[in-house]
A and B are shown apart, each in its own frame.
Chain A
Amino acid sequence: MPTLTRYHIKMGLMYFLLSLFMGVILVAQPIFNLSIDVWTLRPVFFHFLVVGWITQIIIGVAHWMFPKRSKEQPRGNLVLGWMVFICLNIGLVFRGFAEPLFFIYPESIWGWTLVLSAVLQVVAGWLFVFNIWGRVKER
């Protein structure tokens, strides 16, 4: 299994764990009368699950299993591949803490952190599409 794939899957598993942990906290909030601020975790819960876990696993496994691009670049441009990993995960981590903090402390630096998170994730998404496109082909 390529190194980049291992990194994607390991990070994906972390988001999977974290998102389900948040899911438990969200369900526990009304039962144990926890702070209403817990609900700021709801969008993070969904995005850690769908982007951090599912999408990241797909990206990692696609890098590993999709048809080779060429003899010179069997897995496409590796630098772009690592940029996808870095942008996606920095973007997600920024969102993970900035979104709840922004709801609690509006008019702060956290708003711009969310903007940065958005840009990083969009860049990661399109870079992945660009890099994997040539490997989506008939043998």
Chain B
Amino acid sequence: MPRLSVWMVRFSLIYLGIGMTIGGMMLWNKGIFISVDLWRLLPYHIELMLFGWVMQLVMGVAFWIVPRYTTPPRYGKTHRAWIAFAMFNIGLWLVLIQHTWLILVGRVLMLLAVVLFVVYLFPRLKPYGE
């Protein structure tokens, strides 16, 4: 597994653990009431599970599994994917702050990260051996 995939998958695993813990606290609160404030955690739960966990894991595994180039550098212009990784996570953290403008900036950063990742990954989507 290449280094960037290790980072992406490990980040996604941490988000999974935190996201499930938050979800568990809300489900507990649903069954046996603790505090109405626990419902404020819902956006964090959704962000962490969908973007932090699922989306980032898919990106990390795609970077690893998709066919590599036959000539070095075999993973291509990896700096683009590294920048996408950084932007995606900074964007996610900004969204998690849950302030109107920071959510917007975070979402834009995540969008740009995905644009960069798509630009990086597209040329690797080819038949084996090409």
Contacts and interface: CB of A to CB of B under 8 A. Distances in A.
B27 interface: yes
B31 A113 contact: yes
Contacts of A111: 31-32
Contact of A99 (B1, B23, B30): B30
Interface of B is mostly: helix
Contacts of A50: 49-50, 54
Interface of A is mostly: helix
A9 interface: no
Interface of A: 50, 54-55, 58, 66-67, 95, 98-99, 102, 110-115, 117-119, 121-122, 124-126, 128-129, 132-133, 136-139
Interface of B: 1-3, 6, 9-10, 13-14, 16-17, 20-21, 23-25, 27-28, 30-32, 49-50, 53-54, 57
Given A112-B31, A114-B27, A138-B1, 20 more contacts: A54-B54, A55-B16, A58-B57, A114-B30, A115-B28, A117-B31, A118-B28, A118-B31, A122-B21, A125-B16, A125-B17, A125-B21, A126-B17, A133-B10, A133-B13, A136-B6, A137-B1, A137-B6, A138-B3, A139-B1
